[in-house]
Structure 1
Amino acid sequence: MNSARYVLPAILSVLLVACGGGTAVKPETGKAQPPSTQKAPSKKGGYYLDDGPGDNPPGDIDNIPDAVPRAETPLPRANRPYSALGHRYTPMTEHSPYKQRGVASWYGKRYHGQKTSSGEIYDMYGMTGAHTILPLPSYVRVTNPENGRSVVVRINDRGPFHDDRLIDLSYAAAYKLRLIEKGSGIVDVEALDANGKVIPLPQSAPPAQQSAKPLPAPPAERNAPTSTNAMNEPAVNQAVSGDYVQVGAFSLKANGDRLVETLQQQKLADNVQVENWYNAGTYRVRLGPYSSRQQAEAAAAKIKQALNTNAIVIRQ
C-alpha cells in the first residue's frame, strides 16, 4: 500500500480484525464485485473499507505475466529511514540476500491509480508489492507454501505497517497465489538479482555463528565468528538458563546479523547479551538472560514498540 493509506492509524487499528489461523485480514465493509474467474470472498476474509476486486477485471488474471527482474538502482529518496504509524523503519539501500516467511495481504481498487512510495502509479493488475524495508525498486519471488504457487513481483511501495504482516501484494499477484478469498496467507519471500536468481550470501561471509557478547561491544568483537563443525554447519551456542527475548527467526544469517546491529544501534539490549543464535537450521536473534521474567517482558514490549516487530519471551 502507498504511504497515503496509513494517515488514519486510529481507524486502521480499530478496523483490523483476525481470521482463522491468527492472520489479520481486511474487515468486510460492504459488497464488492469479484472478478468473473473467482468467487467472492467468504465471511472469513473481506476487504478494508471500500477496497476489493475491480469492477471490470481482465479476462484471465492467471495469464498476467510475472514481473521480469532487471538491473535497477535503488532510489535514494525512496529508501531513506522513515516513520509510519509511530514506528521507525530503516530500508535496505542495496540489493542484498533476503529470505523470510510471513503473512501476505493484498490491496486492490481502493488504491488503483494512486502513487506508490517510489512515485509510480499503482496498478492492481500489475505484478507488484509493498514491503517496509526492501529496496525500492527490487524484485522478489513470493511462494504460497500451501499450494506451491509462486510469482515474481516488483517491490515499488512501502507497507504493510502492521507487525503481523510481511508483505502487501497487488490484487493480481494475490490472485495468482490463491490468497484472494482468505484475504491473507503465509508466504515465503526471497530477494532476486537482475537475472531472476535468488541473491546468494557473499563468498566472504561463511555461515558461521555470531558470538554472544555484552553491550556495548567493539565492532571487531561484534563481527567475530565462532568455530564451525565438520559439516560446515554453524556451531550451536550453549545458552545460560534464564528468560530471553526472541526478536526474529531467519533462514539466512545475514538477516539476523542486520537485526542484531539494529538492536545495538538503537540501544535496545539494556546491558544484556544479544546474539544471532543458530539451532536446527534457523538463526534466532535473542537477548538475555534477564534477571526476571518481568524484566524480559518489559524489554520485549520496548523492542516491539521501537521496531514494530514481534518480540516474545522464552525460557531457556
Structure 2
Amino acid sequence: MLGGCVKQVSKNFPVPPKAPAQDTAEPKKTGNPYQIAGKWYYPLQSASGYDQTGVASWYGPDFHGKLTANGERYDMHAMSAAHTTLPLPTMVRVTNLENGRQIIVRVNDRGPFVKSRIIDLSYAAANALAYDKQGTARVRVQALEGSDSQAVAANTAAPVQAADPVITTPPVRASAPVQVTTGSTTTSSNMGRIYIQVGAFSSYINAKNMQERIRNDFANAHIQPPAAGMPAWYRVQIGPFDDVGTVENTVIELERLGHKGSVVIIR
C-alpha cells in the first residue's frame, strides 16, 4: 500500500459491508515471509516489546471498502493501521512526535511498502494525529503487548473465554481527534472522548448479556443504541476515558479476560 498522499476526503463514503461473525477470542496471525517489489518481509511471531520510531503515512479512498490482509473490510473512518511485520491484529499506541498527540489503533493490514515509513494509518487515525493534510509525520509506535501486559498477566488468573460469539461490524467512526500534550496522557476536555468497543450485536438481548458479563470488571460498560438512520447494531462499550494510559490498561485486561476483539474508538 502506498499511503501518505494528501487527498481531499469526502465525509460521504459508504460504510463497508459488515464483517462475518467471529468469536470474541481473536487469534493472532503472523503469516509467512512475503516479497514486495523485490524486498522480503518477515512477520514477527510476537509484538511483545515492539517500540519503533519513524515516519507514518496514511491511506484512504483508494482502499476504502476493500479487504485488508486480515480479511476484514477496510474502513478509512475507523481507527486502524497497516504494518509490514506486526502480527494481525495488534493494538498499538501511536504518538505524533511533532505535536504530542496520541491514539491507539488496531493493526489489521500490511504496508506501507515505502522506504523509511514504518506504519500506514487510516484516514481517521491520521486526522486524529493531525497530519492528514501534510501526508506524513514522524511517530513512535509501541505495541500494547510487552512489559505492561506481562505485568498484568503475572498477577492475575488464566484468561476466561467468552461463551457466546460476538457479531462484529465496522467500528464506530472517529468524529474528533484526542489532544494529548507532550509528556502527558490527559486528553483535552473539549475534544472527542475515548471508548473501547467490546462487541456489536443485532440483538439487544445479546448486547445486554455481554454488558452483564463484563459489568463486574468494568462498571462503566454500557450499550450504545443504534444512531438514527443507521443499521440496528447495539454496541457494548466501556468508557469514556480521559487518558490513554487507562485505555491501554483496560485493553490489556480485556485481553486477559478473553475479549481480544475490542476496538478503541473516539466520538
Could you tell me the TM-score, scaled by structure 2's length?
Answer: 0.49
Structure number with bigger Rg: 1
